[in-house]
């Protein structure tokens, strides 16, 4: 059994170009996916960066703004945002710390395959 610790005391400063006030903890990097915990101080930035991988940003705590290309959207805890490949991404906190899990997929099937907008399993439940 392998245990990976994350959270306060286990993060390192994020060195992505342009990032300010951001720390991260890599939880998994292997075939199929890369999973990272992100922590942004209040009024911090992660990015801008461009990833060739599709992703899912799972907001755990706090909120802020996510810019994908020319689109900007408010994001908050309890939301999961699908990130397209090759789009420039910028995540910013505002007024309070933000915590999220970033999952990037290198060759997994489409994130919404077999699902509709009504629920998670395609039957509206």
Each domain of the chain, given as residue ranges in start order, spans: 23-105
- For residue 115, the model assigns a pLDDT of 47
> Full-prediction pTM beyond 0.95?
no
pLDDT digits over 91-124, tens only? 999 889 999 999 999 865 555 554 444 444 444 4
Q: Could you check whether the bond before residue 125 is cis, i.e. omega within 30 degrees of 0?
A: no
pLDDT digits over 45-101, tens only? 999 999 899 999 999 999 999 999 899 999 999 999 999 999 999 999 988 999 999
Query: Which CATH topology does 23-105 take?
Result: Jelly Rolls (2.60.120)
- Assign 10 a pLDDT band (cuts: 50, 70, 90): low
- For residue 19, the model assigns a pLDDT of 87
Q: Hey, which bits of 69-105 come out as E strands?
A: 71-76, 80-83, 88-93, 98-105
Sign of the four-CA dihedral 122, 85, 63, 77: positive
**Cα radius of gyration (the chain):** 15
Sign of the four-CA dihedral 117, 92, 34, 11: negative
């Amino acid at each position: 059994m392998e245990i990976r610790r994350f959270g306060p005391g286990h993060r390192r400063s994020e060195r992505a170009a342009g990032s300010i006030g951001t720390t991260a903890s890599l939880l998994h990097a292997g075939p199929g996916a890369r999973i990272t915990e992100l922590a942004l101080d209040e009024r911090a930035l992660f990015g801008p960066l461009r990833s060739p991988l599709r992703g899912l940003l799972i907001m755990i705590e706090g909120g802020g703004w996510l810019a994908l290309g020319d689109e900007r959207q408010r994001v908050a805890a309890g939301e999961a945002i699908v990130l397209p490949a090759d789009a420039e991404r910028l995540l910013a906190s505002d007024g309070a710390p933000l915590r999220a899990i970033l999952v990037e997929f290198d060759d997994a099937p489409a994130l919404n395959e077999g699902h509709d907008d009504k629920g998670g399993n395609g039957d509206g439940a």
